[in-house]
Amino acid sequence: MKTPKKIQAKLQGRVQNNALRTLPITKGNVDFSSNDYLGFATSETIFKKTHQFLLDRNIQQNGATGSRLLSGNHKLYQEVEAQLCTFHNSEAALLFNSGYDANIGFFSSVPQRGDIIMYDEFIHASIRDGIGMSNAKSYKFKHNELSDLQQKIQKIKQSNTTDQEIYVVTESVFSMDGDSPDLKALVKLCNEQDVYLIVDEAHALGVFGEYGKGLLQELNLENEVFARIYTFGKALGCHGAVILGSETLKNYLVNFARSLVYTTGLSPHAVATIKIAYDELSQTTAIKRLHKNIQSFQEATRNLNFIPGNAAIHCCILSGNDIVKSTAKIVQEKGFDVKPIVSPTVPKGKERLRFCLHSYNTETEIKAVINTLQTLQK
């Protein structure tokens, strides 16, 4: 079948830069790559409890049957959204099909024409895509540098019109660096400048705070943020996402977030799994085990070229697509599932091996993978 020349050229460019993406098959190596930080994705307990919950409620339905605004807003949605409001101390909650849907729904609809979006230069691709769909203007600020953000906000305000709003978006834990902004200082800055702050807590949920509530609640900042976004495909081991904020924000998104309005809702089984996973957060010992593994990994890699961070994500910088991919291949052949992150996913020269830690990784596995890396770097 004939393929357009421009498509062929773009693919060939990826091949030449050793950056062509493919869909890998999991080989059963020791897991240092998945986002399943607490082992919930493979939890037999959560699987069985979800099944029993549906049986107890006499829910025998495979799909949502339509969008939430038509026939798909089954009764479990309201129950789980209320649960999330209580757990995360929020006035309102709105479930989306995925973190991607939540981010493009929010950023494509909330900032209006004439408004400004300020985003961290390392913000997730889903947020960038949502910003790209917005009618607002957008500007990036240097990664986690609040002085740069403040200067740019003040510059914008000098030519500000009376009805212009400014939105600032960051992540509490960045997916490609595993580091965090100074959230207390950021909240203070946004309050002083009278701008709206949005924080994506995708990689903090299940990792930080009491019962894994996230970094904002660990710092008692949840009521200082205009909107919070939590996704369930990481530590919760299931699917979907939620936007937390005011009741007014929820009503607005129900009316204007196209990724909610024009898509089939989550199935009852998917929503029930979210409920059971949150129930498990309040009683699991996996979070403590995860933190112990994070501490062990930090201590063992102190003299290696790792980006500092306290999350479950740890990255060793190995500049160049060729070197990082060849190193990853050797580590994988030794039995460890460690993925290379190449440009253009990360900036050129900042390619890295990305290690994701889990509650179920053993001390022996952690020492072995680090020893393998150290041997290769000698």
Contact 214, 37 (CB under 8 A): no
Q: What is the mean pLDDT of residues 222-245?
A: 98
Give which of 378, 38, 93 is closest to 240, Cα–Cα.
Answer: 93
Structure confidence at residue 52 as a pLDDT band (50, 70, 90): very high
330-358, pLDDT tens digit by residue? Answer: 999 999 999 999 988 888 999 999 999 99
In order of their start, the domains of the chain are 25-40+285-377 (3.90.1150.10), 61-281 (3.40.640.10)
Interatomic CA distance for residues 192 and 186, integer angstroms: 10
Listed as own residue / partner, the contacts of 305-311 with beta carbons closer than 8 Å and 24 or more positions apart are: 307/177, 307/178, 307/179, 307/352, 308/179, 309/173, 309/177, 309/178, 309/179, 309/180, 310/180, 311/173, 311/178, 311/179, 311/180, 311/203, 311/204, 311/207, 311/208
φ and ψ at residue 106, rounded to 5 degrees:
-70, -55
Interatomic CA distance for residues 49 and 171, integer angstroms: 32
What pTM, to 2 d.p., does this model score?
0.94
Residue 378: its pLDDT value, please? 64
Residue 345: its pLDDT value, please? 86
Please confirm whether the linkage preceding 24 is cis (ω < 30° from 0).
no
